[in-house]
Each structure stands twice: as C-alpha cells, then as structure tokens.
Structure 1
C-alpha cells in the first residue's frame, strides 16, 4: 500500500528528512530534479523529440525545474527555461540551482507575458514547473496566462509534483489548470491526484524517489493509503472446504420492480466465494426470484401488501439472521413505512447476534432517519453509501464532500464506528482506527443500476468466508473496479452490462488467486 499525503504532511516529511536525518534540502531538490529528468529523457528518446521548454516559477517547484534543465542539457537536449519571475527574486535552494544553470550557460529567459515564449522548433516537450502543491484559490494574471499557453500547445506536457493551478489539498478545480500528460510527483502522491475533478488534469501519475528514508515514507501516522493489485493476493481455498464453511449469506431486500437488485447482490456474494446465499423477499415476488436464481435460494417472507415487506416477516428474518455468517440489508427493498420498521428491527437483531452486517441502498435511507441507531452501529457493520446517501447519513458532509471527500469520511468516522465504503470517483473505505483506503480501479461505466448491488453482495460473500470488514470492503472495491476497467476495454465504457462485469470479475479473481 502506498501512503497518500496532504501538503502539510509532505512539508513535515521534508523537515524530518532535513532535521532528523541530516539530508539537506538542496540534496532533496537535486534528487527530485535528476530523477524527473530521467523520466523526461525516456520520453524524449521514445518520441525522438530533443527540445524541451521548461516553464518555471520562483519557488521550489521552479528549483526542481532548474535541476531538470541541467540534467537534460547534460544529455544533449536543447532546453530553454522561461522564468515567470525576476532572477534576483529567487531564493533558497532554488537560487543555488539557478546560479549553477547560469554558470553552465543554460538559457534562462525572464518573462512577464506568455507571448515572450518562442520555441525554435515545431516539436517540443513542455515541463510545467510553475507552481507547487500549496496554492489556495485560483491563479491569476501571468500564471493564468502561462497555464493557458501550455494547454494550447500540441507538445507532451510533464507537470512537476502537481499540475499548476491545482492544490494538493482540494479535489475542486478553482481556476485554470495545466492539463498534464504525466505528473511527476515528489516522494509520495498527494490527495488531490486521485480525486475527481482534479484527477482529470493529472494524466498518468509517476512517483519520483527523492531520497526519503523508509521511516519517513512509511510513517504509521499517515492514515490514507492507495490500494493496488499487489496488496490483494489470495490463497487458494483449503482442500476440505464445504459450502457451510465457505460462508452463509442472507440478503434481505426486493420490492415490486426491484428484484434485480437482490439477484445481482446474490450473484456478487457467490462470486466472492460464499457457499450458501439465501435471499429473503416478499412472498408475491418469490416466483420471480425462483426464475432468476440458480445456485442461490430464495425465501418467501410475509408481506404487508403485494411486493412490500412488513413486520409479518420479522420472525422469519430473525431466523435467517441467526443462520447466516453475514447479512446484507437493503438492495431494492423500497421505502414503504411498513418496511422501515422491519429494517430497523432486523438491524437491531443482527447487532445483538453479533453478525457481520452490510447496510446498503434503501436501508441507508431508513438509517439516515434513525440517528440513534447510527450511534449503535459497531465495527461489525459496513455501510455502502454513494455521495447522496452519505449526505443523508451525515449532513455536515455537504460542505466538504466535493472539495475534500477524504476529510468528509474522516469526520464521519469520528462519529460512527462502522466501516464506511463511500462510493465515488474514486471510492474509499474508511474506519476510525484503520484510516482510509483509496481504491485505484474503476471508471464511469459503473454508473449503472445494479453495480452497487453487485458490490454489496461481494462484500457480504467475503465477510461470510471469514474476512474482516476492512479487508472485505477494500478487496471488493478493487476487484469490482478492475473488472469494470477490463469490461470497458472489451465492450466500451458506456456499453458494458452487469453480465459483462460479472464475467470479468471471475477473470480478476483468477489472476489474484494466481491460477
């Protein structure tokens, strides 16, 4: 897992490297520039383009740009630095490096207008070393003009640390931003690199080693991490596994017109390895379920009216909760007031029985009306809201969910003991003690009815098989998203269906089991 940091955490890392480990700031800048230059040189060689334009600011980001210029020039690249400041305004480590460049006859041109940039060749690579991660608000005047110039060019664009115009601490885009093809970020990725809409401008992200000791890079105080495939290798099931020891899942859901949600959840549970999956639906819907399910079973529950579950079903529901290893409540269950009371009692009974519980879809709608019940949820519960459902659960999130979704989840985690699987771009899984895990897979093709039901079912299947709640949620998100990425390649992002997605989930599992 890779730590993901805020700008303040990165500043603290820099200071620790300097004060605790004795690594001078000038050495960190040298490492950043040299290793970034290597990445840029690879692109120069692959594209056979040997001219580079560096747009530099006066801060440390510009200092990295000066070091890059030196290493590119050393490798026979025609490089020109356009400086959006006066040379005598440069200070600190950046001053040392601009002086080295001036002594080495590297061309550095002061500009106060984008019209002064005049590349001498048609094809060139652009290096954006204008602004760093710590800006707040919208850039204006010369910087805004330079960002616009960069975006108008046809050349390949590298941004250093972050595309100029973005803040490392906000997902929101607050003004003009460089549209990078590759962002070379220093030390560790920053939060905004991964969150929409800021992530659109990042392009491909490469982390540049600047020489931080492992004690700094792997600091346990950093509590937001990125999940990748290397974190999720599974062991093959034991030879004596049987359907009961593989895990029993009970799904409570369904209403008229919404049986598909339960079916997809049930299939998701089977895909993630559950040995037995039982679906509790209103009795008039049972014939539909019998036609749609094969290896999963349906239980006919008492209904208050056709297609609507009510308290008549409570006894049956309690029995199934006691039977199962994990219970999923909510897919397609509807919002009838009679169902509300049943959902409430089912959650209370599952908590009392210390079952692993997933609360999804319309059950989250009911939960939002019961703040006292939210306080009772413990770390045996997974909540699976999308952003709208999350705001209903936690109205305070409305202020920060767009700009800092990770902070909104952190704030909720302080008040609720449950594991929260917040679906979005990207999805996150969070819990007070374990922190937040950012999913690295998935695409907008998942914005279709049924994908959330499938995900919830997968979590239920993993939980029934013995995984803990964080592990099950993280694994389900990654596999679900990876399958969606594969499906998008085969059938197109807009066009792939839930059947396509389920097929791809099987192949992702095969890869992860190393079969």
Structure 2
C-alpha cells in the first residue's frame, strides 16, 4: 500500500485538477465522506454534532461535513477555532452552511456545546500540520479527548505530522480517521498511528488511475513482497545453491542469541550455516545447532577463510563488549553482504566507525536504544519520529536501515521507506531481534537484495509473531517459538 507524503499528495491533487476535477469537487467529496463515515460507523445521530474547524481548506471540509450532517437531521454546530476561513474554497463552503448550523467562536458557549456533543468532527488541521499545536487548539482538543463522545478526524488527527508520525501534546485521539484519496505515513507509524484509531481510505474525486500510477517514497509492506522473496525452490537445489551464511555471533554468557539467530536462518532455508565462535562456547553451540558447521577461533586466517567462502554474514548477536578485535576484523575485511546487529552496532556507536565506508552491501538493524546511540539522540527522540530516524540511519550507514519496534521502519539512503504492519507486543522480549537478524542473513545469502531481504524478513518475523500470539498468547509466547511458527507459514505459501 502506498503512503503519500504531504508533497506527494499535493502533486496528486494538482494532477487531479489537470484531469478535470476541481478542488471544490475534492472538498465537497471529502466533507461528504466524513459525514457518511460517521453515520456508517455509529448510526443515525443520537445527539448534537460539533465540527471543529480551522481556517484553511481542512476547515472547508468541515463546513461541508456540517451541512451534510444537518441534512441528515443532526443538530450541528461549527466551532471556528482560529476565526473565519482564509481561503476562497473554505469561504465558499462556509457560505453554504444552512441556517440550522450554529457558528461558534471560542468561549463559554462553544465549550458547553462541545461538552454536550455526541459526535466531534476534527477538521482543524490537515496533512500540512507541523510542529506544536497552538494554545486554543490544545485546549479544545484536550477537552474533546476527555469527553464520552465519538471522535472522527479528517485525513489526520489534528496535532499529527503527516510525513514523520510525530504528535503534539493533546493531539486528538480519534476513533475513526478518514484518509482522503490515500494513506499517509502518519496513519501507519507510531506514535501518530495510535491517535488515528480505525483508518478508512475514501476517494474524493481524483481518478483512480491517477492514484494507482502515482509514485510515493513510502509504502506498507504486504504479502506480495514476502511472496517475491520466497521464490519456489529449484527442483535441482542442493546445499551449495541455497546460500552459505556465516554468523559471527554469540559469546560466553550470551550463546543463546547465536542459537536463536542460527535456528531462524536455517528455518528460512539457508543451505550451509557456518558459526564463528570461541573454543569455550563451541560445545554449547554445537549441541544446540547440530546442523551448523563451526569456525572455532584459533587464529585470524580461519576467520578470513570462512568469510571468503560465505555468501553473506551476520555480525553482532550476543557478541558482548569484549569482542572489539573480532568485530573490527569482520568490518575491515568482509567481502560479502553483511547484517550488522546488536553488539556490532554498539561497537560502531562507541568507536565512531564509519558504516558508510563499508565496501559491501550491508543492512543495519538497530532497536531504538541502539539507534539513539548511533545518532547521538535519546530513545524518546527516536520513538517520537521513527520514520525520520530510520531515514537518518540509512543515510548514516549508506545502506538499508531497519529500525525495530512497533511498525518497524526499513529505510533506504535515497529516502524511500517501508513500514511493517505485522507483529505485536508479545514480541517485546530479548531474543526477538536475534531471530530477525538470522532471517535477514538467510535471505541475503540466497541472493536477495538487501532492502527487500530486510523488509520481507520483518514482515515474515511479525507474521510468525502474530500466529504465536494467537496460538500461545502475547504474554506467554517466546522468541524461540517464532522459528517453529515459520514452518506453518512456509507450508501455506507452498500450498498457494
């Protein structure tokens, strides 16, 4: 599914005008869709409706909505939070309000009307909002959030930024958001996603063929992307043709991270798995992953030979802070596509290693804490704007960056990104990221392009998590359950 940024949606609207659809027709369509959606969701009006309107064209959508609701028999009031309309389109819509619709300005009467509302329609700001809400908007949106009324938002809840997913304090918490023409990044990325409630995409008059051919920098990963990654196996496949993956993972006290990554890689079809480990860790890993071969470290030549024989490498899961020399060696001489996770990323943050100087394709997979260390930010800053953080990480590394968390974001250095729709809070346990790193490594070793390997693995990882939740419960599921769940997913794909 495409995600339209502010400028991409403005460009699409311009194309719609060029195709013969006026901006007035789009505004009329948007306002009508709002009213219809409210009735469809909650039935015929059971009390007063209050439409919160800004002074721009989003307010114009609200005026149309108010007229439609009044025609359906609702007692309706329009609250002009910032004064009268300041665009010709909004003014034209305002002039068509029927006499039965009350027009209110901020004050005691407006507050009383809002407190008695059955339905609040948010048309204060649209997809152009950025920054912080003004004092008046904050007060009325906070009041609306506190009331036992239904809340519907036009395009985006006021206070949410379209392109970044950031939210201002007291952003409207909508039960239903009507996305005009197409979804926006904020509909799918936290924290804004939490404020949108149910999101419905509704057309407003732009020809569907224009929407379908429009280019966007963002999209939501779907099953079609996973299907492209899971190509049918060649009838003549053998272990040498299914990819050789090298894992430089695990250390004394953290061998489990390597085990989880290794089992996930094997479940994803890697033909040969070679694990680099210390001699004292070898017995633990060999017993847990009998399918693997091992490069037991007794000199640098063995590491270099294993790297040269591999098709891809996973670096970092459970390595700890005492393996700086090993990490430096891998980063300095790895000749194959590389997944850098966990302590590999911590090493880069701690030493200032220039990820963009790596001569091979690579994917970095930070969680918010690792992202914060790489970018010199706080975790709160990363989480407040996950899309821009992922894009910044991709530019920093000059390769795909996968920012883990709810609605994982996979970004490219050129500004394109994908948001993952699968996964659940039950996956918020140590070890889930190790499973994901192993999956990405497996797909890289089998020839997948790095960005597609990362976004596809994230989708598959989350899908396995959702099935585990349904089968075992979110609270009780474990990261080790994820690899087993992959079996059923792959069976389903092979049946289709």
Q: Is the TM-score greater than 0.5?
A: yes
Answering whether residue 408 of structure 2 is matched by residue 404 of structure 1, we say: no
CA shift digits 1:29-63 (9 cap, x unpaired): 12222333333332134xx6655614231332222
Sort the Cα spacing of 1:139 and 1:471 in 2 relative to 1 into closer, same or farther, 3 A.
closer
Question: In the alignment, what sits opposite 2:407?
Answer: 426
Question: In the alignment, what sits opposite 1:307?
Answer: none
Question: In the alignment, what sits opposite 2:268?
Answer: 272
Deviation at 1:170, TM superposition (A): 4.4
Question: In the alignment, what sits opposite 2:4?
Answer: 4
| 1:27 equivalent among 25, 28, 34 | 25
| 2:294 equivalent among 272, 275, 299 | 299
Deviation at 1:494, TM superposition (A): 3.1
Classify the secondary structure of the residue corresponding to 2:97.
helix
CA contact (8 A) 2:122 2:152 kept: yes
Question: In the alignment, what sits opposite 1:306?
Answer: none
Sort the Cα spacing of 1:492 and 1:394 in 2 relative to 1 into closer, same or farther, 3 A.
same
Classify the secondary structure of the residue corresponding to 1:178.
coil
CA contact (8 A) 2:182 2:201 kept: yes
The range that moved more, 325-334 or 398-407, is 398-407
Sort the Cα spacing of 1:331 and 1:108 in 2 relative to 1 into closer, same or farther, 3 A.
same
Question: In the alignment, what sits opposite 1:148?
Answer: 142
Q: Distance in 2 between matches of 1:379 and 1:108?
A: 65
| 1:473 equivalent among 435, 445, 454 | 454
Deviation at 1:417, TM superposition (A): 2.6
Q: Distance in 1 between matches of 2:373 and 2:42?
A: 50
Deviation at 1:252, TM superposition (A): 1.3
Deviation at 1:202, TM superposition (A): 1.2
Question: In the alignment, what sits opposite 1:380?
Answer: 361
CA contact (8 A) 1:181 1:203 kept: yes
Sort the Cα spacing of 1:491 and 1:4 in 2 relative to 1 into closer, same or farther, 3 A.
farther
Sort the Cα spacing of 1:280 and 1:77 in 2 relative to 1 into closer, same or farther, 3 A.
farther
Where in structure 2 are the equivalents of 1:325-474 lying within 5 Å? 325-336=311-322, 339-351=323-335, 355-369=336-350, 371=352, 373-378=354-359, 380-395=361-376, 401-433=382-414, 435-474=416-455
Question: In the alignment, what sits opposite 2:151?
Answer: 157
Question: In the alignment, what sits opposite 1:281?
Answer: 277
Classify the secondary structure of the residue corresponding to 1:26.
helix
Answering whether residue 240 of structure 2 is matched by residue 262 of structure 1, we say: no
Question: In the alignment, what sits opposite 1:185?
Answer: 179
CA shift digits 1:367-390 (9 cap, x unpaired): 335545523224521111122323
CA shift digits 1:253-275 (9 cap, x unpaired): 11111111001001111222212
CA shift digits 1:279-334 (9 cap, x unpaired): 2221111111122224x2241513xxxxxxxxx34222222222222111111112
Classify the secondary structure of the residue corresponding to 1:507.
helix
Q: Distance in 2 between matches of 1:41 and 1:255?
A: 59
Sort the Cα spacing of 1:201 and 1:366 in 2 relative to 1 into closer, same or farther, 3 A.
same
Sort the Cα spacing of 1:359 and 1:142 in 2 relative to 1 into closer, same or farther, 3 A.
closer
Q: Structure 1: which 5+ residue stretches go unaligned?
A: 303-311
Q: Distance in 1 between matches of 2:75 and 2:461?
A: 45
| 1:166 equivalent among 153, 160, 166 | 160
Answering whether residue 472 of structure 2 is matched by residue 491 of structure 1, we say: yes
Deviation at 1:437, TM superposition (A): 1.5
CA contact (8 A) 2:371 2:382 kept: no
CA shift digits 1:210-263 (9 cap, x unpaired): 23354466443x322222234332443222222221222121111111111001
CA contact (8 A) 1:379 1:418 kept: no
Please report the RMSD computed on the Cα atoms of aligned residues, expressed in angstroms: 2.9
CA shift digits 1:334-362 (9 cap, x unpaired): 211xx2122222233323xxx12111111
CA contact (8 A) 1:125 1:157 kept: yes
Sort the Cα spacing of 1:79 and 1:94 in 2 relative to 1 into closer, same or farther, 3 A.
farther
Answering whether residue 129 of structure 2 is matched by residue 135 of structure 1, we say: yes
Sort the Cα spacing of 1:99 and 1:510 in 2 relative to 1 into closer, same or farther, 3 A.
farther
Aligned residues: 490
Classify the secondary structure of the residue corresponding to 1:101.
coil
Q: Distance in 2 between matches of 1:133 and 1:277?
A: 48
Classify the secondary structure of the residue corresponding to 1:429.
strand
Question: In the alignment, what sits opposite 2:243?
Answer: 247
Which TM-score applies when normalising by structure 2? Answer: 0.88
Deviation at 1:484, TM superposition (A): 2.0
Deviation at 1:140, TM superposition (A): 4.4
Which TM-score applies when normalising by structure 1? Answer: 0.85
Classify the secondary structure of the residue corresponding to 1:158.
strand
Question: In the alignment, what sits opposite 1:322?
Answer: 308
Classify the secondary structure of the residue corresponding to 1:159.
strand
Sort the Cα spacing of 1:90 and 1:81 in 2 relative to 1 into closer, same or farther, 3 A.
farther
Q: Distance in 2 between matches of 1:286 and 1:85?
A: 68
Q: Distance in 1 between matches of 2:398 and 2:51?
A: 48
Q: Distance in 1 between matches of 2:359 and 2:25?
A: 48
Question: In the alignment, what sits opposite 1:39?
Answer: 37
